[in-house]
Amino acid sequence: MKEENNNKDPHDRHPMLEQLSQLWKNKPAIAGLIIIVTFILAAIFAPWISPHDPLEVSLYDQIKPPVWHETGAWKNILGTDDLGRDTLSRIIWGSRVSLQVALFAVGLAFAIGTFLGAVAGYFKGKLDSAIMRIMDMILAFPYLLLAIVVVAYLGPSLENAMMAIAITYVPRFARIVRGSVLEEAEKDYVMAEHALGAKNRRIIFLAILPNCLGPLIVLTTLSMASAILDSAALSFLGLGAQPPIPEWGAMIARSRGLILRASWVMTFPGVAILLAVLGFNLFGDGLRDALDPRLRD
Amino acid sequence: MIPTLLGVSIIVFLMLRLTPGDPAELLLGERATEEALFEVREHLGLNEPLHVQYGLFLQRLSQGDLGETIFTRQKVWIEIKQRFPATIELSLLALVISCCLGIFLGIVSATKQYSIFDYASMVGALVGVSMPIFWLGLIFMIIFSLNLGWLPISGRLSVHIDLEVITNFYILDSILTQNWAALKDTLWHIIMPAVTLSTIPTAIVARMTRSAMLDVLRQDYIKTAKAKGLSSFKVTYKHALRNALIPVVTTIGLQFGVMLGGAILTETIFAWPGVGKWMYHGIEQRDYMVIQGGTLFIATIFVLINLVVDVLYAVVNPRISVQ
């Protein structure tokens, strides 16, 4: 099948197939995909694969080292925290929390940002400048600061952290969609839709937006990476997940006090954050190379 | 720029007013007396319509009045002024580190594309952009302070060192007063937080420089320069770099602003006495005047930096004229 395709002129192939094969050949992207899938599986099957209850406090097992340490035991592979809770189980359950928060935050930003961007780019004029002015206002803040401040006002909780991240991400989506829509709206097929008497709503969402998907998919993937990072940062500052929720950033914050006695307790959640973010970044970069021909070598 | 700053002030103004609950009670806490609440309402004009309140807010701002902190009853502006040099010193050093290291890595990666060095530095850059810096800072502490004992774990200056404070930029002050012991001590303290803060910007600058350089190196004028027999050093650093730096300048400017946001994390971890740590305590104590003042201040600086970047962009890129 593959050889057959190679003999043909690559331009004959459907562009999407071409892009997929481009992506498939990109080893870092595939590595990223594997990492992402691993975390997703861990999140879905957390109740079955985690060796212990993530909330189970065990006073006999306080601050146990990981298994490869002299005094470590297989019972707690990555050791335990100051309340005797199993680190590995908490990390596995933590992937559920982090992925959920990132997914909802990015999903919300995607929905609002795409809508605003599409409306601004399609109708232009005053509506466009009004929407983009508001986006500029949000962009006038360093985004982590804005997220921190929004949660500070709304009150610390996982839902508010999610909302805050979503708000700070809306302008990215709005800008990129607006740009694409401005470009697409000039094309012939849009004129054809107009001539056929299609309604604006139909033209925007069924004709134009599908053609702007490439950059949007890339942005969504890369935003997942930064949303995981930001939600962990918020939780680290005590503004996101509240105890006893097993969340990576909160786990690091809690084990800060153990830095002298048991530095491993805070090491593993950090590795989990780093890996998850790296996975989405690797895959996002690969997607960009595949979907955006302008950036292709 | 003025509309952007007005926008910033509107958002900061609305934040307190749109937060669920009575703003006066938010400011004073639940146990505030009726008189105190009344006084705050009068002072902020909370009984007036929103646009009148905003006018009052702007009027105070224009006089540099950011109000008083709730818990310590200090002028917010004075508190910020005391702490801001620490934040700027830290961010500037982090910026210098990420410019030097990032641009260097980017150039070498681009000129030696697909070499081991290229792969290693690009993998490093990818790990860098994915790094939770609050965790990295703690790991640095474990390695360099607790295990190796090379660097002080936190703070800005050791207790036993005397430094005559002039500008509140300790590096500058110790040079001005020729206090070399203090200079060494300051540098020892600042290096770990600065490296931590510079991680993500370094990685971003390296990636940006690499792709910009690759873009430029492929162009005809570079081939011409090479054909003329210029040394590859001269072609890379004189001809190619100048054009490649144009997009990098914008990135660096943006990163400086992002660092001001990241300063809350870094300063909190390293007990660095800057605006970020002050704001973090404000958030912990729910001191909304601190949060409001700090946000307004940092966002203003951020907007100003973006303006400077725009001007710089025109300087390095003569094709764009400053309007």
Q: How many residues does chain B have?
A: 323
CB atoms within 10 A of CB A1: 4
Residue A251, phi then psi, degrees to nearest 5 = -65, -40
pLDDT confidence of residue B197: 92
Reported confidence tier of residue A2, pLDDT bands at 50, 70, 90 = very low
How large is the average pLDDT for residues B284-309? 85
- Contact residues on chain A for B298, CB-CB shorter than 8 A: 141-142, 145
Question: Per-residue pLDDT tens for A30-79?
Answer: 999 999 999 999 999 988 988 888 887 777 777 778 877 777 777 777 77
Q: How many residues does chain A have?
A: 297
pLDDT confidence of residue A107: 96
Question: Per-residue pLDDT tens for B164-182?
Answer: 777 878 888 888 888 888 8
Reported confidence tier of residue A297, pLDDT bands at 50, 70, 90 = very low
Q: Provide the residue type at B114 as one letter.
A: Y
Q: Provide the residue type at B34 as one letter.
A: E
Residue A66, phi then psi, degrees to nearest 5 = -65, 170
How large is the average pLDDT for residues B154-167? 78
Whole-angstrom Cα distance, residue A35 to residue A17?
23
Whole-angstrom Cα distance, residue B121 to residue B60?
50
Residue with tokens 């709304």: A154
Highest mean pLDDT range out of B42-56, B91-105, B224-238, B276-290?
B91-105
Alpha helices in chain B (DSSP H): 2-18, 23-28, 34-44, 50-62, 76-111, 116-129, 133-140, 170-176, 180-217, 220-227, 232-234, 241-269, 275-284, 288-316
Residue A1 clears pLDDT 60, i.e. is over it: no
Whole-angstrom Cα distance, residue A152 to residue A293?
42
Residue B141 and residue A259: Cβ atoms within 8 Å?
yes
B254 at A interface, C-beta within 8 A: no
Reported confidence tier of residue B127, pLDDT bands at 50, 70, 90 = very high
Residue A172 clears pLDDT 50, i.e. is over it: yes
Question: Per-residue pLDDT tens for A182-228?
Answer: 888 888 888 888 888 888 888 888 888 888 888 888 899 999 999 99
Q: Provide the residue type at A121 as one letter.
A: G
In this structure, is the dihedral angle defined by the CA atoms of residues B121, B123, B126 and B132, taken in order, positive or negative? negative
Which residue of B275, B283, B287 is the best one to mutate when testing the A interface, meaning the one whose CB has the most A CBs within 10 A?
A: B283
Question: Per-residue pLDDT tens for A95-108?
Answer: 999 999 999 999 99
Q: What is the pTM of this model?
A: 0.87
Which of A134, A142, A269 lies nearest to residue B260, judging by beta carbons? Answer: A142
Residue A153 and residue B288: Cβ atoms within 8 Å?
yes
Residue B4 and residue A136: Cβ atoms within 8 Å?
yes
Lowest mean pLDDT among A46-50, A58-62, A127-131, B290-294: A58-62
pLDDT confidence of residue A4: 47
What residue segments make up the domains of chain B, in order of their start? 2-62, 84-316
- Contact residues on chain B for A225, CB-CB shorter than 8 A: 130
Which of B19, B134, B283 lies nearest to residue A252, judging by beta carbons? Answer: B134
pLDDT confidence of residue A200: 83
B136 at A interface, C-beta within 8 A: yes
Nearest CA in chain B to A136: B4
Between B319 and B177, the more confident residue is B177
Q: Provide the residue type at A18 as one letter.
A: E
Return the structure tokens found at B25. Answer: 């009670």
CATH number of B84-316: 1.10.3720.10
Residue A252 and residue B127: Cβ atoms within 8 Å?
no
Highest mean pLDDT range out of A25-29, A201-205, B52-56, B275-279?
B275-279
**B34–chain A nearest CA distance, Å:** 23
Reported confidence tier of residue B291, pLDDT bands at 50, 70, 90 = confident
Mean pLDDT of chain A: 85
pLDDT confidence of residue A3: 45
Which of B138, B146, B284 lies nearest to residue A266, judging by beta carbons? Answer: B138
Mutual angle of helices A125-139 and A158-184, in 10-degree steps: 140
pLDDT confidence of residue A5: 47
Residue B279 clears pLDDT 50, i.e. is over it: yes
Residue B321 clears pLDDT 70, i.e. is over it: no
Using a pLDDT cut of 70, give the percent of chain B over it.
98
Between B35 and B132, the more confident residue is B132
Whole-angstrom Cα distance, residue B97 to residue A198?
55
Question: Per-residue pLDDT tens for B214-243?
Answer: 888 888 888 888 888 888 888 888 788 888
CA nearest to A216, candidates A99, A100, A118, A98: A118
pLDDT confidence of residue B254: 79
- Contact residues on chain A for B136, CB-CB shorter than 8 A: 270
Burial class (CB in 10 A: 0-12, 13-18, 19+), B59: exposed
pLDDT confidence of residue A11: 57
B143 at A interface, C-beta within 8 A: no
Residue A144 and residue B258: Cβ atoms within 8 Å?
yes
Estimate to the nearest angstrom the gap between the alpha carbon of B223 and the chain centroid: 39
pLDDT confidence of residue A9: 56
